[in-house]
Amino acid sequence: MSNKTPIIATAAVFAFVAGASIVAQVSRADEMKMENTPKLEKCYGVSKAGKNDCASNGHSCAGMAKKNGDAKEFVDLPQGTCMKLVKGKLM
């Protein structure tokens, strides 16, 4: 066994520990982002023409609402906001 073996083993251990701590920090950062993201709900009857969120009322995509306040069109809003709006409905 040469004198370099313990040095290489020590370096490998330090590299492993450093890598594990980086992975743990990234995972915690992802958790914090998820905690701060508001839950969304579909709010019907409050979207402006061309400002709806996807697939409703006979068309296939977002931004295709034909008129303001259509009861069949929705926008995604933070949970609890819809019922505070005039004409806002959850269904």
Q: Is 78 helix (H, G, I), strand (E, B) or coil?
A: strand
Residue 24 and residue 42 share a domain: no
Q: What is the pTM of this model?
A: 0.54
pLDDT tens-digit map of 28-78:
666 666 667 778 999 988 888 888 887 566 777 777 788 888 888 888 899
Task: Determine the Cα–Cα distance for residues 33 and 7; give it in Å rounded to an integer.
Answer: 39
Radius of gyration of the chain from Cα atoms?
A: 26
Shared domain check, 29 and 56: no
Structure-block tokens of residue 22:
């980086």
Domain shared by 49 and 9, yes or no: no
Query: Among 38, 31, 75, which Cα is nearest to 56's?
Result: 75
User: Into how many domains does the chain fold?
Assistant: 2
What backbone torsions phi and psi does residue 24 show, to the nearest 5 degrees? Answer: -65, -40
For residue 70, what pLDDT is reported?
A: 85
Domain that holds residue 19: 1-37
